[in-house]
Structure 1
Amino acid sequence: MMLAIMEHGWTVALPLTIILFSSLVNAHSWVEELTVVSPNGTFTGAKGYPRGNVFRVPSFNDKMMQWQLPENNGDEILHNMTMCRPSQQDSNNTADSPRLQAAPGDVVAMRYQENGHVTQPWIKSGKPAHSGTVYVYGTEKPRGDDTFLAIHNVWNLDGTGGDGRGKLLSTQYFDDGQCYQVDDVSPISVDRQKEFPRKPEAGSVEGANLWCQTDIAVPKDVPSKSTYTLYWVWDWPTLKTDNTTYMPEVYTTCIDLNIIDPQDSSSTGSNQANAANVAFAEVTNYGDAAIRSIFENVKTQGTQTVPSQSSTGASSATAAAGSPIVSTTSPTAGGDQSLQTHGNSSCGTPTTVTVGGTTVTTTISLAPTATTTVTVTTTSFPSSQPTMMRRRRDLAA
């Protein structure tokens, strides 16, 4: 059998001894940890974790933390679909994953892995620029049955939207402009490793990878000695091949913060009046500090916002003319293009496929006990490719 991939005039033929092909990118993201940011932009204090956190131990799989909407791979987000996954609908933190402690006004970095969505944006076609948008909502009055559509694009910055129980804290791009997972073939990863180098400290779960972050400020009017809940929403819709309709694809993480007194010794004091005059620290190891441009906006203005890229509603939304679609780095003439997910994200099938100048042999891991070897024969790429790459995979006997 042969798997034929046709794209913009070039063809990749994949003779397969066994057809066990799954999606090349099936790795998704959630907030893995939170850190308070000091007035000079560096991370400080003990880390915090989402509700019901499960660490990436050998028995881990992404379904333990991932919450994808629509549920069951549907094409429509319904009014009864909840904001939080079942294990995060109550204010529960596992014993080894405590809540972050932060004071009113503190800046908090919410950190997550990019899982190839930043460094290999061409793998899934029709995606927004910057790998989509992250929205963060905050509330002092969370409910276990909070529904997605009652909050997303309803709660607003001034807290007057919807039922008024919460507010939008910030909108930022999923791609924070620096993050990457180490990949020596992806030109985005290679360039970022040089520009934003990271040296992993001993025992770091981040390793040499540079995790992405969303930086938000705890509202100054949140009472001390209370609990404040964050809803992190990654909106990553897909544009259908007819260029008219967005297919919604959303991931959420639900998080509780312990709000401490600003005078508490564990507070960073980033909410104090003189914090605005503290210079941003010189970064010697990326991954130990906030994103400077975002942090400074959040510290001085209380928020960071970016233009909306999509409208995720109860039914698929029609894409407006000029909707932002992913822009990728074109492969070089006759050159290499990595189609690779990353092994440290165990989203079912960690997979590596490299499409090179003529012939490449690689191994695709499809299950803990099943692998298959794929021989990849390619023609040379043209000297330039359109910035948006769409793939059509056809199986032919």
Structure 2
Amino acid sequence: MAQNLFGQIDPPQRLLMGPGPVNAHPRVLRAMAADMLGQFDPEMTAYMNETMELYRQVFMTENRWTFLVDGTARAGIEAALVSLVEPGAKLLIVRAGRFGLLLSEIAQRIGAEICTLDLPWGEVATLEQIENALIEHKPQVFACIHGDTSTTMAQPLAGVGELCRKYGVISYADATATLGGMAVETDAWGIDVVSGGLQKCMGGPPGSAPITISDRAAEHIMARKHVEAGIRGADALDGNRPRIVSNYFDLAMVMDYWSEKRLNHHTEATTMLYGAREAARIMLEEGLEPRFARHTAASTAMVAGARALDLNVFGNDSYRMTNVTGIWIPEGVHGENVRMRMRDDFGIEIGTAFGPLAGKIWRIGAMGYNAVKHKVLLTLAALEVCLAAEGHKAQRGAGVDAALAEYS
């Protein structure tokens, strides 16, 4: 057996300036080192209740059903879709990037009748387009991505919830990439279900998916609940509604677990709950508006720095996410060589792209703990050096100077 086969984990230090995950806040990591508790200890259930209250403020909602789904952000997405969408029911999906396509893939496994509003990557849907699609398809559920990191664009959601209610449709939005960095105005927008993740603007590690559910959506989900006699009570089964196809992601059962009933469903991921709770505390201590302003400042500086390096920025400035910037790879520059130099020479990771944008843009994030001036400047300085090594001509120091000017 090799001497160091089971050696201590010692990963290299990286500044993660890609589309996520990003470096976790040290306070979150410290919170996750706290001791275990039994899942029904009063101290543990108190932490669960506190976490629900914290995330109501994060999601900008009064929703009673605001809690955590154990698993990465995709666990929240899947839990929402399998619990809202019945096999055979119509689901309308906005698809303008990689993660809209993910919604389709999950819905296909559910057996939903999938209707789509397809747009070129980098575009966003207008209210008129959404309303026309709702009228045409008459779906049971509408689903979209708030901020799609594959395109770096943010779908405007103001008015979407009102439209969905007008036509009797339940609305869902994935806010994995925006929660904690951009305003996610759940109540003001009238969105019924919103899910997120920790690993981007929330400044935590992947592994927990905050979710919030309106009373309207909760009634829809609970109407599909099948009670297991002798285990979960004596309520009669509802034979008229299809059973939720997943046990682990059955939000009706998870909601019972997070309710005062504390009906056993799974063993709560204690360490992740500690981390999620601390990530929300950090955000609320900073304040929502200062937090959003910090991400906007980092994004504005990153865009200014890139343009000063004679780089073209992908997408429409009006709809750009404030935490991820897409940059066209200059003609004649090998994009992967630049990424490799950034990593090997500077310990900085930036992202590549998917689908029709693969090999065409880099995606540079400034999120959560990394959405600060010195990390933006370090990234731009390193990018300049690596571009020069690949033959790209730009005024030396221009990127950092432009970013500093934005911060000033």
- Please, what TM-score do these two structures have when normalized by structure 1? 0.32
- Please, what TM-score do these two structures have when normalized by structure 2? 0.31
Higher RCO by CA contacts (8 Å cutoff, separation 6 or greater): 1
Between structures 1 and 2, the one with greater helix share: 2
Between structures 1 and 2, the one with greater strand share: 1
